[in-house]
Structure 1
């Protein structure tokens, strides 16, 4: 038939439309039920009793990286565990994320990065936190494709936990995030 991939795919799009998967966290839910989930929910309930509100997390997807699945999974898992979640989507600046964290009075900032720019973006994020006198007030966690040799440097900058794809148990991640929040509140 001597047609290009572009030509036959355009014909299919005309006939069937173009699939656009939903993005974001509205309406998404998990069906994870486990002992770890119950542990996390117990920590959340204790936090609520002590502080009078649900733990709050801003999930940020900074930079030009458009891969949002990991950030969205964390946002949905946090909500499933009992957190209040603030997620504004992809391609935010460090300033946007910090501003959201301050406005929402969050207990932790979660950053998702796959682009390889983790060192630069973490520097920008901590600079913004410092400029807003919040560097020691709001802990930062990081997830994504982060090379192990960079862990020490990132932690020395102030990152409290680093999660990679090998940390696939979402409720174990939520459990560690609650530990970070509780440690911050104890200070």
Structure 2
């Protein structure tokens, strides 16, 4: 854009932020933003600076302990407890939803079943950046990161998470990915270092939990030995 257009856009964004801070109607300032060729991303970014970003409630914390204690679930709980005794620490997993994907149901089912299985679960809602996921994984010292992506952006976002973990000195934390992922992409993700890829055909939640235990055992026990 030419300097005049950029200046008008900057002025319009400043007016929008001022109106938001003052609690005034945003419509006049928003109309000026449109006329000044401000993008929706710039418009939304200006408002986020004032109001922050909404995180949709997940309902995960209120759903702990709802699964029926079947033999399969009890077996996973036993495996979790056994591995915790070996490691001397509570097994912690991070469930992350990066990108613009707003479909959180699958991730929340995983998070709830993981808690039912005895894991400590860190789940911060949807639309996280790869950087936020990496920071949470490091801060919480998790044993596994589970990434749920249904938007088709797995080949862009997952490598960023892997690279971020390595850069943070946490490249030994295994990463698993779930979503609508073609087998060709799944193979590439595994080549990049992803420990496991789950797709809709992997609907057995207890089986997934058992895989989590196996993956953590393979990485942590071998590291100790």
Say what the alpha-carbon RMSD is for the aligned residues.
1.3
Q: Which has the higher contact order (CA 8 A, sep 6+)?
A: 1
Among candidates 38, 54, 76, match of residue 40 of structure 1: 76
Which deviates the most, 96-105 or 32-41?
32-41
**What is the distance in 2 between the residues matched to 1:141 and 1:147?**
15
CA distances 1:134-187 after superposition (whole Å, capped 9, x unpaired)? 11x200000111111211100000111111111111111000111000001122
Comparing both structures, which one devotes a greater share of its residues to helix?
A: 2
Match of 1:142 among 164, 177, 194: 177
Query: Aligned equivalents of 1:90 and 1:166: distance in 2?
Result: 23
Which residue number in structure 2 is paired with residue 12 of structure 1? none
Between stretches 56-65 and 141-150, larger displacement belongs to: 141-150
Aligned partner of residue 31 in structure 1, secondary structure = coil
The CA deviation string for residues 57-114 of structure 1, in whole angstroms up to 9 with x for no partner, is 0000000100000110000000000000000000001110011011000000000000
Deviation (angstroms), 1:22: 5.8
The 5 A counterparts of 1:176-187 are 176-187=211-222
Counterpart residue number, 1:119: 155
Question: Normalised by the size of structure 2, how large is the TM-score?
Answer: 0.71
Residue of structure 2 equivalent to 1:11: none
Alpha carbons 1:24, 1:89 under 8 Å: kept = no
CA contact 2:57–2:125 (8 Å) conserved in 1:
no
Give the structure with the larger strand fraction: 1
- Distance verdict in 2 for CA 1:163–1:32, change over 3 Å: farther
> Contact 1:94–1:121 (CA<8 Å) still a contact in 2?
yes
Residue aligning to 1:85: 121
- Structure 1 residue 97 corresponds to structure 2 residue 133: yes
Q: Secondary structure at the match of 1:106?
A: coil
CA–CA separation in structure 1 for the residues paired with 2:196 and 2:106: 16
Hey, what's the Cα distance between the residues in 2 that align with 1:184 and 1:128?
19
CA distance in 1, matches of 2:209, 2:145: 13
| 1:170 alignment counterpart | 205
The unaligned stretches of length 5 or more in structure 2 are: 1-55
Off by >4 Å, runs of 4+ in structure 1: none
Number of residue pairs aligned between Structure 1 and Structure 2: 166
Q: 2:67 aligns with which of 31, 39, 43?
A: 31
Structure-2 change in CA distance of 1:53 and 1:162 (3 Å): same
Query: Offset at 1:50?
Result: 1.3
